[in-house]
Amino acid sequence: MFTASDIFGLPFEAWVAIATLALAAITGLLTWATFALVRGAEHTAERQLRAYISFESVSYGPLQNSTPVYFNVTLRNVGQTPAHSAVVWSAMALRPYPHDLPLPIDPATKSCGTVGPTQAVVTGGESAGPITMEILRDLYEGRGILFVYGECRYKDVFGRSRTTPFRFTCGGPHPPVVGSMFIDEVGNDAD
């Protein structure tokens, strides 16, 4: 038999305990959801505010017999904050096409420092020697390929290390167009 203080066969104190446990569980879920929102907002703010060093342009020339080939690569910080401790290196390599040889990593062309928002960094160099008629013929006939490649390493304002590699080609499947290079299918994966 139920007493006046029983609700659905349980004493009032039991219902208070059940309600308290339910409120504690709901409060725990709300706390977890709030922390998840805060973490998500921090990640969003970091993605929106951090430095992004990106490729802007590449040029080379001249492709003439008995002269070296010069190249310039322009990278720009398109983010909203500076990139600190930036190190940029670049190189040029001529290879037969198709090729499976690794490109040498030669940080001989190097610059360091802070790259502010909207600021550009230019890196460049020249071929190891003059271009011969045979190399020119190979480039224009698809048997040779010219690479301009390198990377920029830097730290964003959140202290995370970032890398922007770049790799461009002319020759091979894309005959040279004066001053223009093609973005290679590999070697351009920034983080």
Whether residue 68 is found in the same domain as residue 32: no
Q: Is the pLDDT of residue 66 over 90?
A: no
What residues make up the domain containing 122?
A: 53-183
Q: Is the pLDDT of residue 2 over 70?
A: no
Q: What pLDDT is attached to residue 106?
A: 65
Q: Is the pLDDT of residue 5 over 80?
A: no
107: CB partners within 8 A, 6+ apart = 87, 89
Mean of per-residue pLDDT scores for the chain: 85
Sign of torsion over alpha carbons 74, 79, 82, 86:
negative
Please tell me the total count of domains within the chain.
2
Rounded Cα gap, residues 43 and 16, in angstroms = 40
Whether residue 45 is found in the same domain as residue 62: no
Whether residue 76 is found in the same domain as residue 29: no
Q: Is the pLDDT of residue 174 over 60?
A: yes
Whether residue 172 is found in the same domain as residue 80: yes
Q: Judge contact between 166 and 55, C-beta under 8 A.
A: yes
Whether residue 151 is found in the same domain as residue 91: yes
Whether residue 97 is found in the same domain as residue 33: no
Q: What pLDDT is attached to residue 75?
A: 92
In a domain, 142, yes or no: yes
In a domain, 191, yes or no: no
pTM over 0.85: no
Q: What's the rounded mean pLDDT across residues 2-18? A: 73
Whether residue 38 is found in the same domain as residue 60: no
Whether residue 87 is found in the same domain as residue 130: yes
Q: What pLDDT is attached to residue 42?
A: 74
Q: Indicate the pLDDT class of residue 117, thresholds 50, 70 and 90.
A: very high
Q: Is the pLDDT of residue 145 over 70?
A: yes
In a domain, 190, yes or no: no
Whether residue 152 is found in the same domain as residue 117: yes
Whether residue 36 is found in the same domain as residue 116: no
